[in-house]
Amino acid sequence: MTQSPLQECSREIIGKKLLDHLAVIYPNEDGDRLAQQLMHVMRLDEDCQSPLPHKNLWDETDVVVITYGNTILSEKQHPLKALHHFLKTHFTMLINSVHILPFFPYSSDDGFAVVDYKQVHPKLGDWSDVLRISTDFHLMADLVINHCSAQHEWFINFQQGKSPGADYFFVVDPNENLSGVVRPRTTPLLRAVSNGSSSKCVWCTFGHDQIDLDFRNPQVLLEMVDIIRLYLDMGVRIFRLDAVAFLWKKIGTSCINLEETHEIVRLLRTLIEHADPNTVIITETNIPNRENLSYFGNANEAHWIYNFSLPPLLVNSLVSGNCRHLKNWLMSMPPAQNGTTYFNFIASHDGIGLRPVEGLLSDDEQEALIQTMENFGGQISWRALDDGNKKPYEINISLFDALRGTTAGEDEWQIDRFICAHAIMLALEGVPAFYLHSLVGTTNDYQRMLEHGHNRAINRRQWQESELNQKLKDPTTHHFKVFGQLRHLIKLRREQPAFHPNATQFTLHLGDQIFAFWRQSMNRRQSIFCLNNISDAPQTIPLSSLNLIGTDCWKDLVSDRIYEDMLGTVTLEPYQTLWITNRW
């Protein structure tokens, strides 16, 4: 990431900004006192910096890898050390940022039920390991802000009526009408617990081991800001606000995307960027596309937002052989303002979300996609509806297996289809992020899924470093082939100004079997026409349809082929990608 120039800042300026936020969130609290507390916790009363607005802290060289802290194992060292060694061995000068999923002590949900926010899980390593990784890579970490573990000290204190924690959790009368609450799970929303001498019901958006915090209490906000300050000190430079859309609750509403939630994101943005102007906030909001876009705010909320609609739409295009919906979605996406951009991913530790394609794919199309994924070994996770029924929430499958074939069944194009998917992700507007398992072509892990008892474990394999290194060296393995081709594409991407995350992008219309778009560098000197055959049959198009400037020399970066006859044609083999440019 690039560095931000600074402008003059003062305690008065930051104090005024905080008061504006606090007036929305806590209109009945002493705003001056709370603002001073927040500044003290974040140490802004000692050192305050201010970035220029609408400054891009990223460029075409930024590529992220997503991984658990224990994805890479070694008999010789702790997992975080093994991960660091693996990253330095294979990804130096290739990937410059790493998202290590929750590396704290936890009780469930593979880290997202945090028992202690301020410690590294002892089975992974310690803070010195985290700091070492942050010296070689931009470090993204999760702020699991909506809830904590039922085993956290705060919740234990809540049950005993002690502080801190006695008033940290969202308590609700079970007789309230909660039918309008949006749920991402099928488990009961409320959990009855003893609280001192009485019994109360606490709110559990994701499950009964993950108890929702009550941000109506300003002390909860102060606790989270204290945690943010620690993470900054430990080298974190990209903050992922986990499940932040559910943060604020109001009885009688959907309890998702409320105005107070957005204002808290704005407040955290103000605090973080004045503590370190080179820090990025990303919101994790697995919700319908229009709602997701709202977390950009007016370039004053998230710097990055997840492009949650991309994975299901792209997989659907590649297995159906038709990119109509993908094109329509791309045309509907507004260009991100400078100072913000999209976070593009097509695989992650979670599944392929279906909520982001609500209104984009019909029920029949979603059902066809689900059936195809089940045919390739995938599992389905569900969420509860208002009427008590349930609806598919996400598809759990490794991306490599998801692209085994098409709706017609498995075929010989699995690797080509898989590489095509990543070539599209790499070329789109935004910062690309690779799930580590995708980079090495990991397949469905049925044994881990059975052992852990939940569907998401199917795509959370743990590799022995020595075994994986051997597979990556063996030319006969698909792991070697996948990693080699992806390395080639990543290197190419990092050298192209037209692939800057905020460079111009236009959708091209070359039929439903070719997903195509045009990128232009911010100085307008480089153009790249990105052509992707998303079908299992060759596709031929006239070069004249691209309107290539005849006085320029054009070359496909992927194959090194030169195009001289502007009146000729080009044929794309099944799942072939072309990056045709006038500058190389």
DSSP 460-520: ---EEHHHHHHHHH-TTSHHHHHHHHHHHHHHHHHT-GGGSTTSEEEEE-S-TTEEEEEEE
190 is annotated as contributing to ligand binding: no
242 is annotated as contributing to ligand binding: yes
Q: H/E element holding 418? A: helix 414-427
Per-residue 3-state assignment (H helix, E strand, C coil) for 437-461: HHHCCCCCCHHHHHHHCCHHHHHCC
Tokens at 176, concatenated: 């309230």
* Dist. CA 116–CA 113, nearest whole Å: 9
Cα 214 to Cα 15, 221, 531: the distances in Å are 24, 9, 48
Nearest to 369 by CA among 324, 316, 323: 316
* Dist. CA 22–CA 18, nearest whole Å: 6
For residues 362-395, one letter each, b for 16 or more C-beta atoms within 10 angstroms of the residue's C-beta and e for the rest, the string is eeeebebbbebbeebbbbbbebbeeeeeeebbbb
Nearest to 534 by CA among 406, 439, 447, 434: 406
Nearest to 172 by CA among 207, 211, 210, 145: 211
Question: Of residues 212, 242, 416, 556, which has the active-site annotation?
Answer: 242
303 is annotated as contributing to ligand binding: no
* Dist. CA 524–CA 396, nearest whole Å: 41
Are 377 and 444 within 8 A, CB to CB? Answer: yes
The tally of CA atoms less than 13 A away on the side-chain side of residue 295 is 35
349 is annotated as contributing to ligand binding: yes
Are 190 and 201 within 8 A, CB to CB? Answer: yes
Nearest to 225 by CA among 37, 405, 353, 78: 37
Whether 126 is catalytic is no
Q: Which residues contact 448 (CB under 8 A, 6 or more apart)?
A: 457, 458, 460, 461, 462
Tokens at 165, concatenated: 């924690």
Cα 562 to Cα 86, 449, 575, 584: the distances in Å are 37, 48, 20, 11
43 is annotated as contributing to ligand binding: no
Nearest to 164 by CA among 173, 174, 154: 154
136 is annotated as contributing to ligand binding: no
Tokens at 242, concatenated: 């986990």
Are 205 and 184 within 8 A, CB to CB? Answer: yes
The amino acid occupying position 278 is: N
536 is annotated as contributing to ligand binding: no
240 is annotated as contributing to ligand binding: yes
Dihedral sign, CA of 313, 319, 323, 324?
negative
Distance of CA 123 to the CA centre of its chain: 25
Q: Which residues contact 422 (CB under 8 A, 6 or more apart)?
A: 346, 434, 438, 486, 489
Polymer length of the chain = 584
Tokens at 221, concatenated: 């906000």
Annotated binding site: 109, 147, 240-242, 349-350, 456
Annotated binding site for substrate: 109, 147, 240-242, 349-350, 456
Active site residues: 242
